[in-house]
């Protein structure tokens, strides 16, 4: 059973996350401020599979808590914030967080993001069911890095593979352009949105009739809808 550490000074937020997390089969431990979270991680550096960390907290804010936690363990961190400023997101990613969710959030989407992070950072926990995904006549073999369309192997460029794998692995989640570029091209990418749009266009062409699974979210980004 995967174990989560939920860090937030609001009791209602912790209770809400615990309710949904336990329903999804996770074990949950709570901390009401950053200092408590840091002490827990120092005492049990390998006990948690994921930390959900709020930013604005008394005693020790989320950014400072993550900075201290990184000194003793590399546990994935999903950061929560009532603010959506670009600076906060950039600062969080520079500290090594894995995802960023703005309050108010959808508990169901939060759990999907938690699942995606755990699957990505702990592939050994999910190899049996994540080797191959199939959507109608589209088959995606993550381990073999093979995509087949109606039984015929597709000829995709390396970046098309990366983009499709990321989209499919995070299926039914709205992915912003920034998030796609960051996770597929890397944090140090200096191009622009046109690079993403061009690759989406090429990927759709390669997928033929199954291009329908890649849905454009106007003004936001894309979603693999299946």
Q: What is the mean pLDDT of residues 63-85?
A: 89
Residues 158 and 96: their CA atoms lie apart, in Å, by: 25
The CATH number assigned to the domain holding 99 equals 3.40.50.2300
Residues 25 and 112 in one domain: yes
Which stretch, 2-16, 75-89, 143-157, has highest mean pLDDT?
2-16
Cα atoms in the Cβ-side hemisphere of radius 13 Å centred on 150: 5
Residues 115 and 192 in one domain: no
Percent residues over pLDDT 70 in the chain: 92
Task: Kindly tell me if the per-residue pLDDT of 65 is higher than 90.
Answer: yes
Task: Kindly tell me if the per-residue pLDDT of 127 is higher than 60.
Answer: no
Pick the last residue of a domain from 85, 110, 125: 125
Contacts of 110-115 with CB under 8 Å at 24 or more apart are 110/17, 110/20, 110/52, 110/78, 111/20, 111/21, 111/24, 112/170, 112/172, 112/173, 113/78, 113/173, 114/4, 114/21, 114/24, 114/26, 114/50, 114/52, 114/78, 115/24
- Of residues 58 and 37, more confidence is placed in 37
Closest CA to 77 of 113, 110, 51: 51
58 C-beta neighbours (distance < 10 Å), count: 10
Residues 177 and 84: their CA atoms lie apart, in Å, by: 15
Task: Kindly tell me if the per-residue pLDDT of 128 is higher than 50.
Answer: no
The CATH number assigned to the domain holding 204 equals 1.10.10.10
Residues 105 and 179 in one domain: no
Residues 111 and 142 in one domain: no
pLDDT tens per residue across span 138-172? 999 887 788 999 999 998 888 899 899 999 989 99
Residues 110 and 18 in one domain: yes
C-alpha torsion 168→173→177→181, nearest 10: -40
Assess contact for 17 and 63: CB atoms under 8 A: no
Give me 104's structure tokens.
């108010």
Total number of domains in the chain: 2
Q: Which domain holds residue 204?
A: 131-224
Assess contact for 162 and 156: CB atoms under 8 A: no
Residues 116 and 146 in one domain: no
Give me 131's structure tokens.
């080797």
Task: Report CA Rg, the chain.
Answer: 18
Pick the last residue of a domain from 125, 160, 176: 125
């Amino acid at each position: 059973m995967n174990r989560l550490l939920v860090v937030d000074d609001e009791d209602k937020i912790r209770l809400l996350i615990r309710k949904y997390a336990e329903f999804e089969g996770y074990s949950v431990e709570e901390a009401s401020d950053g200092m408590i979270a840091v002490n827990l991680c120092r005492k049990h550096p390998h006990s948690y599979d994921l930390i959900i960390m709020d930013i604005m907290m008394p005693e020790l804010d989320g950014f400072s808590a993550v900075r201290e936690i990184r000194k003793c363990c590399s546990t994935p961190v999903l950061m929560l914030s009532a603010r959506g400023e670009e600076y906060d997101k950039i600062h969080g990613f520079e500290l090594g967080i894995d995802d960023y969710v703005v309050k108010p959030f959808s508990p169901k989407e939060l759990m999907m993001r938690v699942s995606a992070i755990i699957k990505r950072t702990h592939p050994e926990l999910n190899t049996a069911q994540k080797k191959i995904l199939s959507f109608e006549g589209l088959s995606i073999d993550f381990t073999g890095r093979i995509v087949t369309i109606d039984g015929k192997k597709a000829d995709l460029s390396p970046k098309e593979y990366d983009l499709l794998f990321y989209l499919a692995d995070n299926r039914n989640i709205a992915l912003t352009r920034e998030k796609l570029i960051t996770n597929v091209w890397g944090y140090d990418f200096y191009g622009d949105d046109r690079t993403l749009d061009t690759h989406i266009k090429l990927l759709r062409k390669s997928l033929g009739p199954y291009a329908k699974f890649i849905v454009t979210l106007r003004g936001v980004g894309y979603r693999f809808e299946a």
